[in-house]
């Protein structure tokens, strides 16, 4: 196992920056997710780690050595891609044992270890088939098994589940977590899927346009986003983000947003006062706004019109129009709401997040 450190890592392709001054530390045995929208530099980062792409500048540490000039095969990492290349003419058994045979390991060791890994991945009955006779999910597991048998110091996984259907993806998410718990191999896992990111990672590194936005455990990324990009990327439906104007009320700062007033005191008020901004963005998650009685005026109360009701069984997603904004709300199942009806909502003002309207950075 090994700690991985990326220091001021930069990659330029014909004058445009794919990865911009990336600093990231993955602890020994940690499961680190790199997530972000298409083109944000995730795969380029992983390819630099594996040695398939040379950094324009910066350093890559695996364990206690800088590997910038070390060939991919000598970095002691195993990479599993979205398109896992298995040898088509070999049986699964031969595919799994290929690396061990090349290393000259004994027949009995190979047999025992292939048997153990196949058993763990549930592919024992497939060992005498060829890759073409396997489903996508089964091939995926063989690719993982082959990587495991290399006993690498680190696993590098690039969207390894993207070819699978939803049910198998959910199953493989659990299986990968289990394998990680069992072997404790330092893992860097690239995905654009925030559900994978939130459910699998010890920590998540969220990138946008080549730049790292925040590195944190999933629950911190969700509850304490560093900026408006992170706030909008994590969570489904997305966080509601609406413009607000700050003014000094009778006793504290007040943000006017939508058709209501949101008093801000405590640390948020202090941060807002220190920032001295009058235009801000106010964020609240769909579960932080709920229905309230028509007669309840007060802080955070708005009136809107239901535009869309999506019953999901355990809960209901409702889109409510308030002026120019369409708010996403998560209501309990059987909300009784219908499109076109008027509804009064109250925002949980204790949990609103406030962002700089220009820079997007979090104020409080
Ligand atoms: P996706 O989720 O779509 O795979 P990504 O986050 O993995 O995206 P990268 O593949 O790392 O993104 O690409 C980052 C940027 O670098 C993109 O703008 C891409 O067009 C560019 N890029 C990647 N590889 C090359 C290359 N070999 N030559 C030129 N530009 C490249």
DSSP string, 232-285: HHSSSSPPEEEEEEEEE-SSSEEEEETTEEEEE-HHHHHHHHHHT-SEEEEEE-
Establish whether residue 364 lines the binding site of ligand 1, counting it when its CB lies within 6 angstroms of any ligand atom: no
Band of pLDDT at residue 266, cut at 50, 70 and 90: confident
What pLDDT shows up at residue 49?
Answer: 96
Establish whether residue 192 lines the binding site of ligand 1, counting it when its CB lies within 6 angstroms of any ligand atom: yes
**250 pLDDT higher than 90:** no
* pTM of the entire predicted model: 0.89
What is the arithmetic mean of pLDDT over 279-296?
Answer: 88
What is the arithmetic mean of pLDDT over 196-222?
Answer: 96
**131 pLDDT higher than 70:** yes
For atom 1 of ligand 1, the residue with the nearest CA is 38
Alpha-carbon span 62 to 26, nearest angstrom: 10
83 contacts: CB under 8 Å, gap ≥ 6:
163
What is the arithmetic mean of pLDDT over 82-90?
Answer: 82
Site to probe by mutation for ligand 1, drawn from 14, 44, 79, 157 as the one with most ligand atoms within 8 Å of Cβ, is 44
**295 pLDDT higher than 70:** no
Alpha-carbon span 210 to 297, nearest angstrom: 45
Burial class (CB within 10 angstroms; exposed 0-12, middle 13-18, buried 19+) of 2: buried
**296 pLDDT higher than 70:** no
**297 pLDDT higher than 80:** no
Omega before 232 within 30 of 0, i.e. cis: no
β 203-208/353-356 pair status: unpaired
Establish whether residue 38 lines the binding site of ligand 1, counting it when its CB lies within 6 angstroms of any ligand atom: yes
71 or 165, which is more confident = 71
Establish whether residue 39 lines the binding site of ligand 1, counting it when its CB lies within 6 angstroms of any ligand atom: yes
Site to probe by mutation for ligand 1, drawn from 39, 50, 191, 213 as the one with most ligand atoms within 8 Å of Cβ, is 39
- Report which listed range, 116-125, 250-259, 281-290, 328-337, is most confident: 281-290
Alpha-carbon span 15 to 17, nearest angstrom: 7
What pLDDT shows up at residue 260?
Answer: 87
Establish whether residue 208 lines the binding site of ligand 1, counting it when its CB lies within 6 angstroms of any ligand atom: no
- The rounded mean pLDDT for the chain is 91
What pLDDT shows up at residue 82?
Answer: 65
**334 pLDDT higher than 90:** no
How much distance in Å is there from the Cα of 179 to the middle of ligand 1? 29
Establish whether residue 15 lines the binding site of ligand 1, counting it when its CB lies within 6 angstroms of any ligand atom: no
175 or 112, which is more confident = 112
What is the arithmetic mean of pLDDT over 103-111?
Answer: 93
Would you mind telling me the total number of residues written for the chain in this entry?
A: 364
| CA–CA–CA angle 354, 359, 360 (5° rounding) | 40
For atom 10 of ligand 1, the residue with the nearest CA is 43
Establish whether residue 360 lines the binding site of ligand 1, counting it when its CB lies within 6 angstroms of any ligand atom: no
Residue 327, token pair as written in the block: 């708010």
Ligand 1, atom nearest to 41 Cα: 11
What is the arithmetic mean of pLDDT over 63-70?
Answer: 95
Alpha-carbon span 53 to 286, nearest angstrom: 41
């Amino acid at each position: 196992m090994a700690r991985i450190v990326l220091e001021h890592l930069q990659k330029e392709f014909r004058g445009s920056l794919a990865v911009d001054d990336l600093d990231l530390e993955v602890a020994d045995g940690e499961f680190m997710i790199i997530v972000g929208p298409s083109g944000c530099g995730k795969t380029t980062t992983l390819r630099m780690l594996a040695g398939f792409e040379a950094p324009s500048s910066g350093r890559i540490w695996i364990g206690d050595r800088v590997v910038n000039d070390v060939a991919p095969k000598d970095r002691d990492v195993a990479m599993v891609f979205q398109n896992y290349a298995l040898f088509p003419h070999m049986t699964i058994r031969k595919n799994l044992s290929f690396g061990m045979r090349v290393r000259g390991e004994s027949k009995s060791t190979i047999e025992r270890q292939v048997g153990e890994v196949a058993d763990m991945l549930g592919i024992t009955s497939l060992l005498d088939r060829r890759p073409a006779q396997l489903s996508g999910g089964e091939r995926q597991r063989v690719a993982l098994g082959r990587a495991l048998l290399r006993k690498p110091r680190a696993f590098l996984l690039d969207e390894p589940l993207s070819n699978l259907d939803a049910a198998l993806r959910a199953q493989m998410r659990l299986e990968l977590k289990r394998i990680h718990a069992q072997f404790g191999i330092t893992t860097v896992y690239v995905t654009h899927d925030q559900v994978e990111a939130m459910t699998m990672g010890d920590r998540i590194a969220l990138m946008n346009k080549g730049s790292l936005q925040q590195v944190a455990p999933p629950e911190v990324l969700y509850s304490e986003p560093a900026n408006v990009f992170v706030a909008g990327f994590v969570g489904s439906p997305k966080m509601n983000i609406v413009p607000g104007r700050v003014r000094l009320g009778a006793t504290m700062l007040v943000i006017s947003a939508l058709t209501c007033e949101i008093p801000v005191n405590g640390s948020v008020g202090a941060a807002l006062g220190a920032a001295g901004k009058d235009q801000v963005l106010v964020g609240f998650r769909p579960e932080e706004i709920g229905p309230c009685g028509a007669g309840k005026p007060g802080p955070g109360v708005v009136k809107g019109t239901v535009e869309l009701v999506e019953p999901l069984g355990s809960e209901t997603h409702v889109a409510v129009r308030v002026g120019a904004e369409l708010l996403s709300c998560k209501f309990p199942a059987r909300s009784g709401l219908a499109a076109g009806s008027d509804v009064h909502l109250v925002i949980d003002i204790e949990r609103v997040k406030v962002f700089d309207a220009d820079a997007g950075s979090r104020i409080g």
